[in-house]
Amino acid sequence: MTKGIAEVDVRGKRVLVREDLNVPLAAGKVADDTRIAAAVPTLRNLSERGARVIVMSHLGRPDGKAVDGLRMAPVAAALSSALGKEVKTAPDCVGADVRSAVSALADGDVLLLENLRFHPEEEANDPAFSRELASLGDLYVDDAFGTAHRAHASTVGVTAFLPSYMGPLLERELDVLDEVLERPRRPFVAVLGGAKVSDKIGVISRLLQICDAILIGGGMGNTLLAAEGFDVGTSLVDKDLGPAKQVREEIDRKAARVEVLLPEDAVVATELKADAQTRFADVDEIAPDEMILDIGPTTAEKFTGVIEDAKTVLWNGPMGVFEMDAFAAGTEAVGDAIAESGAMSVLGGGDTAAAAHKLGFADKVTYISTGGGATLEYIEGKELPGVAALRDAAHA
């Protein structure tokens, strides 16, 4: 059993908190504050209880070098606004200047460290770097489910040097996913989209064992159709159809128990443009110069019919290029059906969350996971290094 931070007296203590504040930026500002909003309750609670809160996160992929466009200042501004109080910033995440900034904190203050991944030692889980991070705090809290699948200094290494606790957001993520995967109310329906089948072989295999129905669209649907022998024109597909053929064989073996639906029709165009000329086409009538950009109305109707009867829905990946209105109808239909079903519904993945917010059903589903790769690995049944480190620390 891992330890939570809720019952610990944190007043006057330096609490080092790993959050996942890896948010998209546009024109120097935070473009989507979903992860910031998810982190706020934990940080506010610690601050109100008198902790000296030191927040650390990565942002983007700077590859171990300081990159001005990936500094944490815009995140600090958005976090200040969301918390309703100043979030101080540090010039780095380790070093003398950072130690001075931490020493100057008063009870209730919040300090955001600079991008962890400006240092190659972070992703290398370097022990000396881990020790230096840990020296900034009296306690460590991991609240970053989105990075729990990474064995990095800030997620695993620091647990060797500080009393370590699970944050409420991380606890909630695991509780929700455990409920869906281990105790689903049935029928249990999974909706899968996104780009590559090869990235989700393990996920599909696990879901074929526990779901009653699986609905597959997006690029994954294209690839599985291609593996069946359909000509999908210039659609996005995996270059190597081997994994898709492997999945097809597994689907066929489980067909007696699990209903798996692929697209029957699609919205197609000869180019990916917002104002492209589009048409509906059955999947066996796609021209060589056309590409699938959304599921078609017949498919949407069949998918939503299955969802309407569901008691549990897990959704990862949009049905098409929802960012453009011309190709958003399928994703919107699925989202609306989930919202209206009354099912326990969990959405995972950044694109799915973005679609939920853009298309207006984010507040009508049960839970939107902050994890991308971590969610997929947890669904697959893999042990997440960040969670394992906390469990080890709890038993140390």
Q: Which residues are known to be catalytic?
A: 35, 196, 350, 373
- DSSP class of residue 126 equals -
Distance CA 265, CA 272 (A): 18
Question: Taking each helix axis from N to C terminus, what angle separates 373-380 and 168-182, rounded to the nearest 10 degrees?
Answer: 40
- DSSP class of residue 213 equals E
Q: What is the 3-state secondary structure (H, E, C) of the chain?
A: CCCECCCCCCCCCEEEEECCCCCCEECCEECCCHHHHHHHHHHHHHHHCCCEEEEECCCCCCCCCCCHHHCCHHHHHHHHHHHCCCEEECCCCCCHHHHHHHHCCCCCCEEECCCHHHCHHHHCCCHHHHHHHHCCCCEEEECCHHHCCCCCCCCCHHHHCCCEEECHHHHHHHHHHHHHHHCCCCCEEEEECCCCCHHHHHHHHHHHHHCCEEEECHHHHHHHHHHHCCCCCCCCCCCCCHHHHHHHHHHHHCCCCCEEECCCEEEEECCCCCCCCEEEEECCCCCCCCEEEEECHHHHHHHHHHHHCCCEEEEECCCCCCCCHHHCHHHHHHHHHHHHHCCEEEEECHHHHHHHHHHCCHHHCCEECCCCHHHHHHHHCCCCHHHHHHHHHHHC
Token pair 């996104």: residue: 194
Distance CA 383, CA 19 (A): 19
Pairing of strands 265-269, 278-282: antiparallel
The residue type of 271 is: E
Please name every residue paired with 214 in a beta bridge, in sequence order, or none if there are none. 190, 260
